[in-house]
């Protein structure tokens, strides 16, 4: 498939085209294919409610998405899913296991779902996640669900990627002290206590609610919901809350501005970073500067300033 | 070597300069003996591939649907129940029906010698049985993945 037919296919929501486009953009090094695809579909983006699902490994994120995506689909919404799993920092390989938990919901309804490996990027998502979300958005999705890598306390990148962060927790993960801690407890727009049939679930809900009550006065009231993903208990409430959240977002025209700035910053940062990597990769990189340093005719900070100037201007 | 990698974990992207081969492992049809395929999944991961396992009892349609959504380079099929001539063929037919020529198919399981030529003809290569060294399987899958990747790239422009 060539890029023309891929772009056309995205507009028509064709799964094969969407999939091929994702393959082209899911790279750590931005290349011409990425630039071309994104520039050609960008005008089609911005219509989807992008929902991030994060939380510790094994808490039930994938199972939750399986059930939620089915219910959203059945209520008439077009849903697409991006699930990110961890790459091995040793072999570079990955076992992408999210799909198994949602396959039933997907295949009977024709929901598009893609697994990505994070390929060495920490923070819970992959570097290409922004571009993949744009493709799914441009393909006419009403809802795009992004599942992060099983997250720890400080994996917060998803906050910059999505409209709504759902933090999924469970009973037995910690007491009220844990709930007050910084990091992942600060990024949720909706909190979920999953596996509500297990002991301690209501205590967990109470601990999170108490913590949230300490910072009142926010425009969006952060709900805490209990779910049982096996029998569907609590899911109607979740659908209702997601509708309210979408109304809230739609009522704030500047809602995405902050994220657009963050994304622009990330692109500039990444582009510069890869230029830095390129310029230092050569065998005799900056050999004159190095001898200047060993002769003490310059110092590291002045030398770095000169190099930064060169790197920054390259390509302009 | 491994120490060096430890210090780089999470930061160093040089490991990920090249896109890893992406493989879908599947046991289509009624066959719940998944110990072997999980061992393969783990070995493929350790060989640097991105591995997706289709789970227990997927239909051929689900396998092909997954392969399209995930844009894998290789669909690796395994059956120990003797239904390979029917079910592997169904998968190969579906792939062809969708007009896909740039995803490779490989097979494995308890496959009698006399069935192998017919499977090869369907485009399903390898067809390794029990006792095959892991390296033989990995090398073959990597080779078929590289073929698929090359076809995908050449179709682009």
Same domain, A73 and A200: yes
| Adjacency order of strands within the sheet including A94-96 | A94-96, B50-53, B22-26, B74-79, B104-109, B124-128
Helix pair angle (A129-138, A32-41), 10° resolution: 40
Same domain, A265 and A245: no
Same domain, A244 and A272: no
| Whole-number Cα distances in Å, A44 to A23, A111, B110 | 19, 20, 49
Same domain, A153 and A211: yes
**Quick one: pLDDT at residue A314?**
66
Domain boundaries, chain B: 19-154
Q: Is A177 part of any domain?
A: yes
CB–CB of B157 and A2 under 8 A? yes
Q: Chain A interface, mutation test: which of B69, B96, B99, B156, most A Cβ atoms within 10 Å?
A: B69
**Quick one: pLDDT at residue B137?**
97
Give tens-digit pLDDT for A133-167: 999 999 999 999 999 998 887 788 898 899 999 99
Strand partners, B76: B25, B106
Q: In the predicted model, what is the mean pLDDT of chain B?
A: 90
pLDDT higher at B124 or A267: B124
By Cβ distance, the residue of B45, B55, B100 closest to A95 is B45
**Quick one: pLDDT at residue A155?**
82
**DSSP element (H, E) containing B97:** helix B84-97
Closest CA in chain B for residue A155? B10
Residue pair B63/B13 in contact (Cβ under 8 Å)? The answer is no
**Quick one: pLDDT at residue B14?**
58
Tokens describing residue A260: 């657009």
Give tens-digit pLDDT for A26-64: 876 677 888 899 999 999 999 999 999 999 999 999 999
Report the domain count for chain A: 2
CB–CB of A20 and B66 under 8 A? no
Chain A residues near residue B156 by CB distance under 8 angstroms: 1-3, 24, 33
Measured distance CA(B139)–CA(B125) in Å, rounded? 12
Phi, psi of B25 (to 5 degrees): -100, 130
Tokens describing residue A239: 């659908």
What's the 3-state SS for A7-40? HHHHHCCCHHHHHHHHHHHCCCCCCHHHHHHHHH
CB-based contact, B1 to chain A, within 8 Å: no
Same domain, A51 and A182: yes
Closest CA in chain A for residue B156? A2
**Residue located via tokens 């590289």:** B146
Phi, psi of A82 (to 5 degrees): -125, 120
Q: Is A194 part of any domain?
A: yes
> What mean pLDDT comes out for the span B10-38?
82
Chain A residues near residue B41 by CB distance under 8 angstroms: 95
Cα A39 from chain centre: 20
**Quick one: pLDDT at residue A272?**
86
**Quick one: pLDDT at residue B4?**
42
Measured distance CA(A211)–CA(A176) in Å, rounded? 8
Measured distance CA(A99)–CA(B88) in Å, rounded? 21
CB–CB of A100 and B55 under 8 A? yes
Chain B residues near residue A103 by CB distance under 8 angstroms: 54-55, 58, 62, 66
> What mean pLDDT comes out for the span B49-64?
94
**Quick one: pLDDT at residue B107?**
97
Residue A264 half-sphere exposure, CB side, CA atoms within 13 Å?
6
CB-based contact, B121 to chain A, within 8 Å: no
Same domain, A279 and A167: no
Domain boundary among A216, A250, A284: A250
Measured distance CA(A267)–CA(B56) in Å, rounded? 41
**Quick one: pLDDT at residue A274?**
80
- Closest CA–CA distance from residue A200 to any residue of chain B (Å): 31
Q: Is A11 part of any domain?
A: no
**Quick one: pLDDT at residue A179?**
77
- Closest CA–CA distance from residue A75 to any residue of chain B (Å): 23
Range of the domain at A91: 46-250
| Ordered DSSP codes for chain A | --HHHHHHHHHTT-HHHHHHHHHHH--SS--HHHHHHHHHHGGG-S-SEEEEEE-STTSSHHHHHHHHHHHHHHTT--EEEEEEEPBPTTTS-EEE-HHHHHHHHHHHHT-EEEEEE-TT--SSS-TTHHHHHHHHHHTT-SEEEEEPSSP-TT--GGGGT-SEEEEEE-TTS--HHHHH-SSGGGS-SEEEE--TTSTTHHHHHHHHHHHHHTS---SS---EEE-BTTTTBTHHHHHHHHHHHHHHHHT-TTTTHHHHHHHHHHHHHHHHHHHHHHHHHSTTTTHHHHHHHHTTSS-HHHHHHHHHHHHHHTT-
Q: Is A124 part of any domain?
A: yes
Q: Is A200 part of any domain?
A: yes
CB–CB of B71 and A23 under 8 A? yes
Task: Say if residue B3's pLDDT is above 50.
Answer: no
Residue pair B67/B75 in contact (Cβ under 8 Å)? The answer is yes
Cα A21 from chain centre: 18
CB–CB of B45 and A2 under 8 A? no
Q: What is the CATH number of the domain that holds A175?
A: 3.40.50.300
By Cβ distance, the residue of A20, A28, A107 closest to B16 is A28
ipTM score of the complex? Answer: 0.86
Residue B132 — left, alpha, or beta (φ > 0 → left; ψ -120 to 50 → alpha)? Answer: beta
In terms of CATH, what superfamily is B19-154?
Answer: Cobalamin-binding domain (3.40.50.280)
Chain A residues near residue B45 by CB distance under 8 angstroms: 88, 91, 93-95
Tokens describing residue A235: 């899911």
> A with B: how many residue pairs have Cβ under 8 Å apart?
117
Tens-level pLDDT at each residue, chain A (316 residues)? 889 999 999 999 999 999 999 999 987 667 788 889 999 999 999 999 999 999 999 999 999 999 999 999 999 999 999 999 888 888 889 999 889 899 888 988 999 999 999 887 777 777 789 999 999 999 999 999 999 998 887 788 898 899 999 999 999 888 777 777 778 888 999 999 999 999 999 999 999 999 898 887 788 999 999 999 999 999 999 999 999 999 999 999 889 898 899 889 888 888 888 888 888 887 788 999 999 999 999 999 999 999 998 887 765 4
Same domain, A229 and A308: no
Domain boundary among A250, A268, A302: A250
Task: Say if residue B125's pLDDT is above 90.
Answer: yes
Question: What is the pTM (predicted TM-score) of this model?
Answer: 0.89
Measured distance CA(B63)–CA(B87) in Å, rounded? 11
CB–CB of A89 and B9 under 8 A? yes
């Amino acid at each position: 498939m060539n890029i023309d037919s891929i772009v056309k296919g995205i507009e028509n929501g064709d799964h094969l085209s969407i999939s091929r486009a994702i393959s082209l953009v899911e790279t750590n090094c931005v290349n011409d294919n990425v630039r071309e695809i994104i520039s050609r579909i960008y005008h089609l983006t911005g219509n989807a409610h992008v929902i991030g699902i994060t939380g510790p490994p094994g808490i039930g994120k994938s199972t939750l998405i399986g059930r939620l995506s089915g219910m959203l689909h059945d209520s008439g919404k077009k849903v697409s899913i991006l699930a990110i799993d961890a790459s091995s920092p040793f072999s570079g390989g990955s076992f992408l296991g999210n799909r198994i938990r949602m396959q039933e919901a997907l295949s009977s309804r024709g929901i598009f779902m893609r697994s990505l490996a994070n390929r060495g990027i920490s923070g819970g998502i992959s570097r290409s996640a922004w571009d993949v979300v744009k493709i799914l958005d441009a393909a006419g999705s009403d809802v795009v669900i992004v599942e992060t890598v099983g997250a720890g306390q400080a994996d917060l990148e998803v906050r910059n990627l999505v409209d709504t962060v759902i933090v999924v927790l469970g009973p037995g993960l910690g007491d009220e002290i844990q709930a007050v801690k910084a990091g992942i407890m600060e990024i949720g727009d909706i909190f979920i206590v999953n596996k509500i049939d297990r002991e301690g679930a209501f205590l967990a809900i109470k601990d999170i609610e108490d913590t949230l009550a300490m910072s009142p006065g926010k425009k969006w009231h952060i709900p805490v919901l209990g779910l049982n993903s096996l029998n569907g208990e609590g899911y109607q409430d979740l659908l209702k809350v997601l509708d309210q959240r979408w109304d809230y977002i739609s009522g704030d025209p500047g809602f995405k501005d902050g994220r657009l700035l963050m994304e622009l910053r990330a692109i500039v940062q990444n582009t510069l970073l890869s230029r830095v990597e390129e310029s230092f990769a050569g065998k005799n990189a900056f050999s004159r500067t190095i001898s200047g340093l060993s002769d003490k005719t310059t110092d590291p900070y002045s030398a770095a300033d000169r190099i930064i100037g060169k790197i920054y201007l390259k390509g302009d | 070597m491994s120490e060096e990698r430890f210090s780089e974990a999470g930061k160093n992207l040089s490991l990920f300069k090249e896109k890893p081969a992406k493989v879908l492992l599947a046991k289509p049809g009624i066959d719940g003996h998944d110990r072997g395929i999980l061992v393969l999944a783990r070995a493929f991961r350790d060989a640097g591939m991105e591995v997706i396992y289709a789970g227990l009892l997927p239909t051929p349609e689900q396998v092909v649907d997954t392969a399209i959504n995930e844009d894998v380079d290789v669909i690796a099929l395994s059956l120990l129940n003797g239904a390979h001539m029917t079910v592997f063929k169904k998968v190969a037919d579906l792939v062809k029906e969708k007009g896909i020529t740039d995803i490779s198919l490989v097979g494995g399981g308890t496959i009698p010698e006399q069935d192998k030529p017919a499977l090869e003809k369907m485009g399903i290569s390898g067809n390794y049985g029990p006792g095959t060294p892991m390296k033989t399987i990995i090398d073959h899958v990597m080779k078929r993945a590289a073929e698929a990747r090359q076809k995908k790239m050449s179709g682009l422009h």
